[in-house]
Amino acid sequence: VATLQGKIKALAEKKAPIFQRLKKEHGDDSLGEVTVNMCIGGARGIKCLVSETSLLDPMEGIRYRGRTLEECNQQLPKASATSKVGLPEASFWLLLTDEIPTDAEVKALNEELHKRATLPESTTKLIDSLPKDMHPMTQLSMGLLSLQPTSSFQKNYRSGTMKKTDYWVHVLDDSLSLVAQISPLAARIFRNVYFDGKHIPADPSLDWAGNYAHMLGVNNSEAFKDITRLYLMLHADHEGGNVSAHTTHLVGSALSDPYLSYSAGVNGLAGPLHGLANQECLRWLKNTHATLGGKEPTIDELTKFAKDTLASGKVIPGFGHGVLRKTDPRYMIQRDFAEANFPDDPLFKLANACYKAIPPVLEATGKVKNPWPNVDALSGTCMQYYNLDQEDYYTVVFAVSRSLGCMSNMVWSRLMGLPIERPKSVTVDWLVNHVDWS
């Protein structure tokens, strides 16, 4: 922790004068105008948030601290000499410090996470008492809330001894604990819902993501550990405006602690237009596969399926994006993994055919801004190949991953002393009175 703290502090000391100068010398500079469409269109395109950890380019996708996901996957330390996947906990380090950690640093981080991973009895009792048919995301959100009394930020704030300049230290402390605890919590929910509560103890010799895959207990192969590592690395962060990151940031801006804030973020991730899309997408693929009698589909058949989905008033899950304007690079990296590991899997073949058939159908609507697949179009397909086919659980895996980005962003928000968020809202009448009707 001391090393991590030192690195974050050193980076913050470098950035603080720039931040102060921006505020002082350029505080009134314009970053663009706000149009009526932006106001009624979900605030799209309005540059009104600072999120230090990552930046999304509409064409090339997300960069973690300036590095593309391909670069992260290559440069981040690996679990073993044979693994080709950058470790997600190493991406956590990168998001926090702007540095690729050494193997020794990742090892130390993993030891720290293992030390903090124990769940209090109050949490295990609560989780074990929940009905099996309660959605796993609801259970995860409740589990995170049940951990809130352990928050170091909350305790120190309450005691009245914490200086404003030390907020980030306690947010970092809580973030490490939350990231450590979220994987055993998520695994516990999985084993309760699908395996009658037969839990698999953690393996402290494994890395954070490898151990999570191990505790899920559906597949012992190294390949399943690797796809879990890849999934968790790819989903860690997607700049600050997406629903889960923004919600975590917004709640945190009221100085709610990391458990309260991330639990709220998880609730946003549980929506079908955001994180739940991976569950919806696999369901759509499975349904299409079954309706076709398991045979390989023609592009014409899939085109008809896609049109039918649109005609029934539904969205085609796994396609489109709020900001990206080309195929999601996270989709491409998963596709490379699938091609190398299970090119003949029927659902992978189907997903590939969808890649050809669906974009023209969406384009023909004339309104979809990005007809290309997003990360969710393939993540479920990858997981089901390794027996993780309980699609209702998929968004939980996403939430385990997204904790890395949301928590590192929260550390930086407190470091920069960002204020409580309070955008201005207006009424329709106000808009009517403020536009030029002539």
Task: Give 67 or 321: the residue with its C-beta nearer to ligand AMX.
Answer: 321
**Which one of 87-95, 126-134, 319-327, 343-351 is the stretch in contact with ligand AMX (CB under 6 A)?**
319-327
Q: Does 380 bind ligand AMX (CB under 6 A)?
A: no
- Smallest gap from residue 277 Cβ to ligand AMX (A): 3
Binding mask 295-314 for ligand AMX (x = CB under 6 A): ---------------x----
Q: How far is CA 63 from the centre of its chain?
A: 14
Whole-number Cα distances in Å, 204 to 104, 105, 141, 298, 427: 16, 16, 25, 47, 55
Q: Which of residues 259-298 bind ligand AMX (CB under 6 A)?
A: 273-275, 277
- Smallest gap from residue 349 Cβ to ligand AMX (A): 20
Q: Does 376 bind ligand AMX (CB under 6 A)?
A: yes
Q: Does 97 bind ligand AMX (CB under 6 A)?
A: no
Q: Does 418 bind ligand AMX (CB under 6 A)?
A: no
Cβ contact 302:354 at 8 Å? yes
What would the two tokens of residue 110 be? 């993993």
- Smallest gap from residue 306 Cβ to ligand AMX (A): 9
**Which one of 137-145, 370-378, 381-389, 410-418 is the stretch in contact with ligand AMX (CB under 6 A)?**
370-378
- Smallest gap from residue 308 Cβ to ligand AMX (A): 12
Q: Does 330 bind ligand AMX (CB under 6 A)?
A: no
Q: Does 422 bind ligand AMX (CB under 6 A)?
A: no
Task: Give 316 or 347: the residue with its C-beta nearer to ligand AMX.
Answer: 316
Give CA–CA dist 354/304, Å, rounded. 11
Count, residues near ligand AMX per rule CB under 6 A: 20
Plot region of 160 (φ>0 → left; ψ -120 to 50 → alpha; else → beta) = left
Q: Give the contacts of 329 (CB within 8 A, at least 6 positions apart).
A: 60, 61, 62, 68, 69, 70
CA-nearest of 360, 349, 291, 348 to 319 is 360
- Smallest gap from residue 45 Cβ to ligand AMX (A): 10
Residue position matching structure tokens 């990168």: 94
What would the two tokens of residue 151 be? 């928050």
DSSP string, 69-126: HHHHHHHS--SSSS--S--HHHHHHHHHHSSPPPHHHHHHHHHHHHHT-PPPHHHHHH
Q: Does 219 bind ligand AMX (CB under 6 A)?
A: no
Q: Give the contacts of 411 (CB within 8 A, at least 6 positions apart).
A: 8, 96, 168, 171, 172, 175
Among 367, 422, 424, 434, binds ligand AMX (CB under 6 A): 367
Give CA–CA dist 421/325, Å, rounded. 28
Task: Give 261 or 278: the residue with its C-beta nearer to ligand AMX.
Answer: 278
Give CA–CA dist 353/361, Å, rounded. 13
**Which one of 8-16, 317-325, 415-423, 427-435 is the stretch in contact with ligand AMX (CB under 6 A)?**
317-325
**CA torsion, points 53, 54, 55, 58, in degrees to nearest 10?**
-160
- Smallest gap from residue 71 Cβ to ligand AMX (A): 22
Under DSSP, is residue 65 helix (H, G, I), strand (E, B) or coil?
A: coil
Task: Give 154 or 267: the residue with its C-beta nearer to ligand AMX.
Answer: 267
Q: Does 333 bind ligand AMX (CB under 6 A)?
A: no
Q: Does 318 bind ligand AMX (CB under 6 A)?
A: yes
What would the two tokens of residue 391 be? 């699609």
Q: Which of residues 334-363 bind ligand AMX (CB under 6 A)?
A: 362
**Which one of 90-98, 366-374, 420-428, 429-437 is the stretch in contact with ligand AMX (CB under 6 A)?**
366-374
User: In this chain, which residue has its C-beta nearest to ligand AMX?
Assistant: 320
Give CA–CA dist 190/198, Å, rounded. 10
Q: Give the contacts of 290 (CB within 8 A, at least 6 positions apart).
A: none
Q: Does 319 bind ligand AMX (CB under 6 A)?
A: yes
Q: Does 61 bind ligand AMX (CB under 6 A)?
A: no
Q: Does 317 bind ligand AMX (CB under 6 A)?
A: yes
Task: Give 226 or 328: the residue with its C-beta nearer to ligand AMX.
Answer: 328
Active site residues per annotation: 274, 321, 376
Q: Does 321 bind ligand AMX (CB under 6 A)?
A: yes
Task: Tell me the helices (H) and strands (E) count for the chain, helix number first.
Answer: 20, 3
Give CA–CA dist 183/396, Å, rounded. 10
Q: Which residues bind ligand AMX (CB under 6 A)?
A: 273-275, 277, 310, 315-322, 362, 367-370, 374, 376
